[in-house]
């Protein structure tokens, strides 16, 4: 593929204003052809779907678009009526869409009419009583008769209305409309993400006045849940694992039976005594989440989805080709159209967005599908243009938006880097023995598509062994499990390459300033290099940083976040960086860093040492490494993980050493 600039010049696009946007929401989904195809089929056949993938890849958009392909069928209104035989078991009736509102309106009109008739009759009776009392008082001359007449009328009025505190009997007999539709409505799409049990399954409100004629009838306190509102439509639940297991069990029942009773969800509420007849809930379940969502799902619920639907794993990137680049151009136009508050993008701005999609993919020949974050970049660039009164967003605003819209991790990493440089936590020039600049990424959050690089200074020192029986590797810096295991692997490399008895030495490895801890094995190369430098007393260049995982055979293995690490090294003022050769295809640094730092690919630990070592001892050490054969001459234990010695595998090693 040609570069983005060359490709964009050949496109017949001046701004996003003249790009056609598909009408169907499903056709606006980018890069998820497999998911779209399966969901279309699932909608036609009314199958359940589980969408698993990274945030921002289009799961909710696909679920919402599913209603466009549901088979045409008449929607239904659901009403709840009072039950004269058992007030705590309200009756459920289903009518065609639009009829429910007509029924309720007609019954309410009849109730008002009867109420008016009763009011007129009451007024007539009161007028007769008061009028008769006044006439009698006039003829007899006794005013007390008039007074008693007025009091009697007032008492009759109060008894007849019961002080106005109680609902009219006619109103209590009116059914409640639980689910309402109009004729011609599209199938409903109900988002029940993070819904509590009452909102999901329905509930019956608590009645504080439960006796004395002040109570609210049970059927008027019934509330429909999301599963009932989604009847004949789609119920969408994101992060399905956040639902409690009882709620998942009830959801499974609703899927199986296609109907579910409504009852009070709180046992302390008076609604707990109310239980309606079965309420229809024939819906398509579309649940979504990350990979960890599968672990938190009820096994029976997942089995139901697999048996009567589809499981789909979303793409997080797509091939960098002609067709997909055009899709990203359309994506920018879609975001501008949806926002309605930002101007259109020109060719240069679109080029920058596509280049950013390349970078965030983290792999050459790919484009990122974390489109929610790219959409955020589009909106920030548009806001910058609006703030300056521009009618078109240019490349300049997108470049500025990258700085404005940096993630929290990137902002923290920048301040962290400045603070370390101010206190000289690491050097960017000269040479040092046993000190190397490693590279790391800060908080590799799966919800983010971009990493934040950090300089990770590592210092090693070799001292006489504290124990007569063995030497130890003592690593400090709040290492995680994977990082500890990586340090253990380094011990095998040391025995292989050094070829000398190290049982009389303790090796101390310090990860400087790692107050939040270290996890992962991408510092293996840096650890091994620092230790070899300390053991052989050969200095290392300090204008260099390195990253890479190390196998026990001395091969440098690929790691993640290479682009962010290289940019962090360049930002810190380092001149060279060593990375695994296999990661060269993943390097997509920004233009402003090109020319500031030299990227050196390495395949073996020897390649690393050849580039990192300095001084007179370099040649002798490299020659010695060439002629040495792997030789295990001692046992090295990791002091910071004593629990490992209790494992059976460690015990077998001890037994082998004793023999």
**Minimal CA–CA distance to 374: which of 395, 390, 360, 388?**
360
Same structural domain, 4 and 130 = no
Give the model's confidence band at 600: pLDDT under 50 very low, under 70 low, under 90 confident, else very high. very high
Residue-number span of the structural domain to which 110 is assigned: 103-172
* pLDDT value, residue 189: 94
Alpha-carbon distances, residue 282 vs 42, 48, 187, 200, 214 (angstroms): 15, 11, 12, 14, 36
Supply the pLDDT for residue 467.
74
Pick 78 or 2 by higher pLDDT.
Answer: 78
**pLDDT, mean of residues 377-394:** 94
| pLDDT tens track for 522-570 | 888 998 899 889 888 899 999 999 999 988 888 899 988 898 899 889 9
Domain termination site, one of 125, 146, 172: 172
CATH code of the domain covering residue 451: 3.30.230.10
Active site residue 247: no
Q: How many CA atoms lie within 13 A of 135 on its CB side?
A: 6
The first and second tokens of residue 231, run together, are: 């009847």
Same domain, 433 and 581: yes
| Shared-domain flag, residues 226 and 366 | no
Give the total residue count for the chain: 659
The answer as to whether 36 is a domain residue is no
Active-site residue flag, 565: yes
Q: How many domains does the chain have?
A: 4
Residue 356 in any domain: the answer is yes
Top-confidence range, 330-339, 469-478, 514-523, 644-653: 330-339
pLDDT in tens, 638-659: 343 343 344 343 333 334 333 3
Question: CA nearest 11: which of 319, 360, 334, 348?
Answer: 348
**Per-residue pLDDT band at 437 (split at 50, 70, 90):** very high
Q: Is residue 492 part of a domain?
A: yes
Q: Is residue 544 part of a domain?
A: yes
CATH of the domain at 301: 3.40.50.300
Residues 445 and 322 in one domain: no
Mean pLDDT of 79-108: 92
pLDDT, mean of residues 463-486: 76
User: Which of 271, 297, 313 is the C-terminal boundary of a domain?
Assistant: 313
- Locate 212 and state its tokens: 């004395």
Q: What is the pLDDT of residues 95-116, one digit of tens each?
A: 999 899 999 988 888 877 877 7
612 within some domain:
yes
Examine the domain organization and report whether 485 and 511 are in the same domain. Answer: yes
Residue 500 shares a structural domain with residue 642: yes
| % of the chain beyond a pLDDT of 90 | 42
Pairing of strands 544-546, 435-441: parallel
Domain boundary (313, 344, 369) is at 313
Residue 604 pairs in a beta bridge with 555
pLDDT band at residue 504 using 50, 70 and 90 as cut-offs:
confident
CA dist 93 and 626 (Å) reads: 86
Gap between the Cα atoms of 624 and 14, Å rounded: 63
**287 and 301 share a domain?**
yes
SS (H, E, C) 524-565: HHHHHHHHHHHHHCCEEECCEEECCEECCCCEEECCCCHHHH
pLDDT at 416 over 70: yes
Kindly indicate the confidence band of residue 71, based on its pLDDT and cuts at 50, 70 and 90.
confident
Does residue 514 lie in a domain region? Answer: yes
- The confidence score (pLDDT) of residue 213 equals 62
Query: At residue 374, does pLDDT exceed 70?
Result: yes
> Which among 347, 366, 565, 571 is annotated as catalytic?
565
Question: If pLDDT is split at 50, 70 and 90, which confidence band does 577 have?
Answer: very high
Ramachandran quadrant class, 528 (left: phi over 0; alpha: psi -120 to 50; beta: rest):
alpha
Given this model, what pLDDT does residue 657 score? 38
Residues above pLDDT 70, as percent of the chain: 88
Residue 327, pLDDT above cutoff 70:
yes
Residue 361 has pLDDT above 90, yes or no: no
The enclosing domain of 386 has a CATH number of 1.10.8.60
Residue 428 C-alpha from the chain's centroid = 38
The mean pLDDT of 420-443, rounded to a whole number, is: 82
pLDDT higher than 70, residue 362: yes
Same domain for 229 and 327: no
On whether both 442 and 506 belong to a single domain, the answer is: yes
Same domain, 206 and 298: yes
Task: Give domain status of residue 178, yes or no.
Answer: no
Q: Are residues 293 and 388 in the same domain?
A: no
In a domain, 69, yes or no: no
> Which of 204-213, 223-232, 497-506 shows the highest mean pLDDT?
223-232
Q: Mind listing the pLDDT tens digit for each residue in 162-198?
A: 544 444 566 678 899 999 999 888 899 999 998 999 9
State mean pLDDT over 416-422.
71
Specify whether 276 is located in the same domain as 347.
Answer: no
In 512-591 the beta strands, taken as DSSP E runs, fall at 539-541, 544-546, 549-550, 556-557, 576-580
Q: Which of 60, 368, 452, 522 is catalytic?
A: 522
């Amino acid at each position: 593929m040609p570069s983005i600039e060359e490709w964009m010049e050949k496109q017949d696009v001046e701004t996003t204003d003249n790009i056609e946007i598909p009408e169907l929401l499903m056709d606006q989904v980018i890069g998820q052809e497999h998911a779209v195809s399966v969901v279309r089929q699932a909608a036609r056949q009314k199958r359940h779907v589980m969408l698993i993938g990274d945030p921002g890849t289009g799961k909710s958009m696909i679920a919402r678009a599913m209603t466009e392909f549901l088979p045409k069928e008449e929607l239904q209104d659901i009403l709840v009526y009072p039950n004269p035989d058992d007030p705590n078991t309200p009756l459920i009736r289903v009518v065609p869409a639009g009829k429910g509102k007509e029924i309720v309106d007609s019954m309410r009109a009849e109730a008002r009419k009867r109420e008016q008739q009763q009011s007129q009759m009451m007024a007539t009776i009161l007028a007769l009583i008061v009028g008769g009392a006044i006439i009698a008082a006039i003829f007899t001359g006794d005013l007390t008769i008039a007074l008693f007449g007025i009091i009697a009328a007032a008492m009759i009025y109060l008894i007849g209305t019961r002080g106005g505190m109680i609902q009219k009997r006619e109103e209590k007999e009116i059914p409640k409309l639980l689910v309402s539709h109009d004729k011609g409505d599209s199938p409903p799409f109900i988002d029940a993400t993070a819904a509590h049990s009452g909102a999901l399954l329905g509930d019956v409100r608590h009645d504080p006045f439960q006796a004395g004629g002040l109570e609210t009838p049970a059927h008027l306190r019934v509330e429909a849940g999301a599963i009932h509102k989604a009847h004949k439509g789609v119920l969408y639940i994101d992060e399905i694992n956040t639902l409690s297991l009882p709620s998942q069990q009830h959801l499974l029942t609703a899927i199986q039976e296609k109907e579910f009773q409504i009852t009070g969800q709180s046992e302390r509420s008076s609604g707990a005594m109310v239980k309606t007849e079965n309420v229809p809930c024939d819906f398509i379940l579309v649940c979504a989440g990350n990979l960890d969502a599968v672990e938190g799902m009820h096994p029976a619920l997942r089995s139901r989805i697999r048996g009567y639907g589809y499981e789909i794993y979303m793409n997080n990137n797509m091939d960098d080709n002609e067709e997909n680049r055009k899709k990203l151009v359309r994506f920018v136009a879609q975001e501008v159209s949806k926002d309605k508050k930002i101007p259109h993008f020109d060719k240069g701005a679109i080029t920058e967005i596509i280049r950013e999609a390349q970078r965030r993919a983290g792999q050459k020949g790919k484009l990122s599908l974390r489109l929610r974050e790219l959409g955020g970049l589009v909106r920030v660039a548009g806001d910058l243009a609006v703030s300056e009164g521009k009618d078109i967003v240019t490349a300049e605003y997108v470049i500025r938006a990258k700085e404005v819209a940096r993630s929290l991790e990137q902002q923290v990493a920048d301040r962290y880097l400045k603070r370390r440089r101010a206190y000289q936590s690491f050097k960017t020039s000269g040479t040092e023995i046993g000190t190397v600049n490693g590279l790391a990424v800060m908080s590799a959050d799966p919800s983010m598509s971009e990493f934040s690089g950090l300089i990770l200074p590592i210092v090693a020192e070799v001292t006489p062994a504290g124990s007569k029986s063995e030497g130890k590797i003592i690593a400090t810096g709040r290492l995680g499990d994977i990082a500890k295991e990586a340090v253990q692997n380094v011990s095998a490399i040391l025995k292989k390459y050094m070829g000398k008895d190290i049982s009389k030495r303790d090796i101390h490895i310090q990860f400087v300033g790692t107050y939040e801890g270290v996890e992962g094995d991408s510092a293996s190369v840096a650890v091994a290099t620092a230790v070899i430098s300390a053991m052989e007393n050969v200095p290392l260049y300090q204008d260099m940083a390195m990253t890479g995982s190390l196998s026990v055979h001395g091969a440098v293995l690929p790691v993640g976040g290479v682009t962010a690490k290289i940019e962090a090294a360049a930002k810190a003022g380092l001149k060279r960086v060593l990375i695994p050769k296999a990661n060269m295809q993943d390097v997509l640094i920004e233009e402003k860093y090109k020319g500031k730092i030299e990227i050196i690919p390495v395949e073996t630990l020897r390649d690393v040492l050849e580039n990192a070592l300095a001084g007179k001892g370099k040649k002798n050490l490299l020659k010695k490494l060439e002629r040495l054969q792997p030789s295990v001459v001692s046992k090295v234990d990791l002091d910071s993980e004593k629990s490992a010695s209790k494992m059976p595998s460690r015990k077998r090693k001890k037994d082998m050493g004793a023999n």
